[in-house]
Structure 1
Amino acid sequence: MHSDRTRKLGYFAGLITPLWLTLGVALAGALYPGYSHVDQAMSLLGADGAPTRVISPLINNFPLGVLFLWFGTSVLLSFRHLWARVSGLLIILHGLGSFGTGYFACDAGCAPANPSASQNLHNLAGLIMAFSLLLAGALWVWLGRRLLASPGFSWFSLLCTLAALGALPLMAGALESGHGFGLYQRVNYGASLLWVAGLALVLLRRPAT
């Protein structure tokens, strides 16, 4: 009984991740004079020299890391199927990446000609975050039918995965033009977080086995 309750709390952790990020980034952005959610990366909120350098990781990266670790562990413990467990491990890895991006701040501006070690580690943690959650969602395009008997969730997983992938070239183009990066980054990450919340909701509604 205790184990079931702990897993369900983990599902709730996954369910609230999009809301947590939205509120956290909105608050940090409001405390950063002149910050643009459309043009600027979320990492700038925690960059060296930023007015929100200290508060941004405390309200975004670190608590989100805890939520992802909890949710990923719940997914891992909810299934015996190998690839479902792999998806749980990928979500856990995403949570660890969230801690990494918060602990290792990017340099001022986040795009220096000569990046520091902290900038390089921040970038590495960011890549781990991006691709771990993308792969986890892609696995459930197949697992949704096989384990949940839910074609609807399989299609939902596919749409979220394609939306996250489709935003990547737009992000690259925005880096060159200097406009729209923040918007496309939020589409990319938002699609993945929407998938996390969708999986959490499906698991909360799933009959106990």
Structure 2
Amino acid sequence: MITVRTELPGKSLPAQKKFTTHGWQRIILLVVLGYEAAGCFLGGTLLILEPDGRLMNMPVQIMHGFFTDFLIPGIILFALGVLNLITFISVLRKAASDWWFSSLALGGLYIWFVVEIIILRELHWLHLMWGVPVLLGLVMAMPLIIARNESATTGRILLLFGIFSSVWYLAINIFVPIMYPGYSIVSVTVSELSAINAPTRILWVLLVLPYPLFFALFGWGVLRISSGSRTLKIMGSLIIADSTFNLYWPAMHQRQIIALGNGSLTDSLHIVWAMVTLIFMLLIIIFGAAALGKRCRIYSIATLAIFIVFGTLTWLESPGISQNLPTPYIGLWERINIGAFLLWVAVFAVVLIRREKSKPA
């Protein structure tokens, strides 16, 4: 286990303010960096050698005229490979600049994948193969970045992401439905915004990508201030696990496709992901309630009651999706549950921030 600590000028941080990174986090980060470097070198080389894309079986037309050939994308990919290789060496040697290179390399890949999706106007299987590891790498790089930039306010800054993540998810749930003609937030589920061939699929994916990263930052923040509290440590770990699990979410087909019997494994996996995510949410609330006082526990119990009531209502209407029948209020019931969790996270973050502010410097 590696402990990285930065002292404030003229003042030492209290012992409980230390933040640690662990070997397994660094190993995962190294695997991601090595994997991405190899992929960038291979893809970049193939595109530079044959800019028409024939070596990768990709026609130039998929770029919709943004580039005349794949030469520039190939050069960008190769350059990202070089950057990821440098970062790999930096992290392996535990250099003081490893956090900076990790941010630059993984951030660069993240931006490039977003640009790719915008140019292609579709989600390619390569985005899953190479994009999800980048998100995982970012989650694993977070403790390294935090530890290398330790300060007295680090914990509170990270806890703010509990509020920001909730606001972000709420905002995209307001904005994206507006872009879907005929969509009703009352009678249509959130998942149908990103259903295969839905008009808002690309938009939803691009906007929701940062959410698990924001939520993971909140999780690292909870771990950062959890000294002496086993329940907070468990809760922070659950948040990070939930964020990591939700870096990828199998898409469902549109309900009319499912009703015709043309669904596939991805529809079943979508349900599995929903169930696992629900379990994570419940555990996060339970351990969060156990970590704080009576009022927080009462509020948490009320939130769990909302989950039970509106979760049941959602479940009762859910067969209508697979049969392409009316589901008059399924979207409303589901959004009440989602809103209850988002609000709980924001409130919990505020409580923790206030608690941190009340501690002696």
TM-score range, shorter chain: 0.7 to 0.9
Give the TM-score, by structure 1 length. Answer: 0.86
Q: Distance in 1 between matches of 2:152 and 2:334?
A: 35
C-alpha distance after superposition, 1:145-202 (max 9, x if no partner): 2xxxxx2222112211221222111111122462211111111111111110011001
Deviations 1:90-149 (A, max 9, x none): 212222243222xx322223982454233333322222222201111122333212xxxx
User: CA distance change for structure 1 residues 41 and 81 in 2, over 3 Å: closer, same or farther?
Assistant: same
Q: Secondary structure at the match of 2:183?
A: coil
SS at match of 2:318: helix
Over the matched positions of the two proteins, sequence identity in percent amounts to 26
Alignment partner, residue 316 of structure 2: 173
Aligned counterpart in structure 2 of residue 105 of structure 1, from 251, 254, 272: 251
Change (3 A) 1:169 1:13: same
Deviation at 1:9, TM superposition (A): 2.1
Contact 1:65 1:99 in 2 (8 A): yes
Separation in structure 1 between the aligned mates of residue 277 and residue 151 of structure 2, nearest angstrom: 28
Q: How does 1:10-49 map to 2 (within 5 A)?
A: 10-49=158-197
The aligned amino acid for 1:197 is: A
Q: What does residue 86 of structure 1 align with?
A: 234
Contact 1:44–1:50, Cα closer than 8 Å, also in 2:
yes
Higher relative contact order (CA 8 A, sep 6+): 1
CA gap 1:203/1:114 in 2 versus in 1, 3 angstroms = same
After superposition, what is the alpha-carbon deviation per residue over 1:40-76, rounded to whole angstroms, capped at 9, x for unaligned?
A: 111111111111111102112x111111111111112
Partners of 1:110 and 1:20 in 2: CA distance: 30
**1:139-158 equivalent positions in 2, closer than 5 A:** 139-145=287-293, 151-158=294-301
The 3 A distance-change label for structure 1 pair 67 and 110 is: farther
1:202 aligns with 2:351: yes
- Structure 1 unmatched ranges of 5 or more: 146-150
1:4: Cα distance to partner? 4.1
Letter in 2 for 1:167: F
- SS of residue paired to 1:16: helix
Q: Which residue of 2 aligns with 1:148?
A: none
Distance (whole Å) between structure 2 residues aligned to residue 13 and residue 31 of structure 1:
27
Q: Which residue is 2:212 aligned to?
A: 65
Distance 1:110 1:117, change over 3 A: farther
CA contact (8 A) 1:97 1:126 kept: no
Root-mean-square deviation over aligned CA pairs: 2.1
Listed as ranges, the gaps of 5+ residues in structure 2 are: 1-7, 9-149, 321-326
- SS of 2:234's partner is helix
Q: How far apart, in 2, do the equivalents of 1:4 and 1:114 lie?
A: 55
Aligned length: 201
Name which of 150, 162, 182 aligns with 2:305: 162
Question: Which structure would you say has the larger Rg?
Answer: 2
Greater helix fraction, Structure 1 or Structure 2: 1
CA separation of 1:110/1:88 partners in 2, compared to 1, >3 Å: closer, same or farther? farther
Q: Distance in 2 between matches of 1:114 and 1:92?
A: 35
CA distance in 2, matches of 1:182, 1:132: 21
2:338 to 176, 189, 193: 189
1:46–1:54 distance in 2 versus 1, CA, 3 Å: same
Instruction: State the TM-score, normalized to the length of structure 2.
Output: 0.52
1:97, 1:111 → 2: CA distance? 27
